[in-house]
Structure 1
């Protein structure tokens, strides 16, 4: 292993993906620790390298407390490298392996900042494309930080017969599996899978191989196990996010998408029914929307009005040493 990439010193390896390696590094110019992801492909492809650099420049403009920023990107010996903020802690995949299923209140506490980060990116027309627990880092205070927006799917796609796909099979949306269609709603589906995993203590879909997993995601309706104690409101929102039909009953061009989405969710969950269509968390008018949850006074969980209304009082990743793909 080379001791340096550009001006950055490499101190130790933190993790590996299918085509990438993450190192703990040090920036001698700014005197700070950083994380460096190197991207290596078997065949040198200047065009692909340029695409990755262009995407890194775009993502580096995101500024949000729950997004891991990219400080720098470059090319060394034909390989792309990305320099990220380094924040010690665990990723969400590791946290869930240690903790098992979470209570609804704990799961929602983690999910809300993740949705804030994704909504912020969608407002800038950036789709994550590989949202999953190992791309969500929990810092030393337990604050979620989302990383690899728009980049991970291209870098760490499987290297076997699924080469035509980008991303992680267990977190792919049905429309991408079947038609290679990617949109903001694909991130919504992935967020639903992550919430399912936090509530159930296991992945929403498991199988003997990636093709079986992808087949189940594209063809089966997902249902929480009986052990996951969630109320109708939270269950309704979860199943709405996990709807196999990406079509949204509320059009992004709707003049009041935030209010309409909230009303739609409430109407469905009030009857204990499952929502049938997946909500968009992106609005063409430039506002990102998402269902926000908060614990009520009796500790049950329900959907609340989105932030266009006056808020009601609530009661009382950084790269770290982890595998970069799960």
Structure 2
């Protein structure tokens, strides 16, 4: 009798071996999340980024089935918290929710300990709010053109406040001065609150900050908004022109919030986080809160949308930092 020896097909054997090796990874991926999820906010409590994260956390907890906790790790213009996330395990248990200044870190801090685009993967662009420039209500300025005219008439005599060197407010005013040929002294504060307070006190002629920062004082009558730097007027500032409408085409600056994960986080986990964020922010009560308290226009992009936007922000504002040798406070 002839004995027939069946030799296993090499391709099938390799496929079986690959499946066996992949099984633990697939099981781990399916089990995600398998413990508390940290959202690192790289700024102190109380700012807009912290507010956005804490508003989102309860909804994410419900949708992901694990506690979502917000951890503030401030310092280094946001670089310390971002670095901690960049060096975390890419398992979906640690996320970064950060602000517009994230895009200028590499230009502002040449010795940055991580790579903005290689060490962090985009998850979602949540949305943004325009920067607004305002003055004390009893100042004579009625629009951005009036402020520029005064700066031309009084070189170095029209000062403005911002939340600090290298913030988008500061960089926007650098662009404005370059376009108009005026020189306006910059008074950098450690945060938006003190900058607004000194503008109300009359110690500076103007203040620039996010719409969320200035709106309470504008609505209360202490400040007058001269221009907003978004692509369109906010519903809450219908009578205040955009900078483009005021005669400064292309001059836009938007405060934005984005979510990132450590590079290498599995795509299915990133997709699930993105979906949970979208469902959370689309809830009517949360959307209304963000629109009213942060003057936010929600975008809720996919990861690719954040990547495209973020790359553009790095290019635009990084160039301003480098060309003007801007350094942090």
Larger relative contact order (Cα-Cα within 8 Å, sequence gap ≥ 6): 2
TM superposition score category, shorter chain reference: under 0.3
> Highest CA radius of gyration, 1 or 2?
2
User: Normalized per residue, which structure has more helix?
Assistant: 2
**TM-score (normalised: structure 1):** 0.23
TM-score, normalising length from structure 2? 0.23
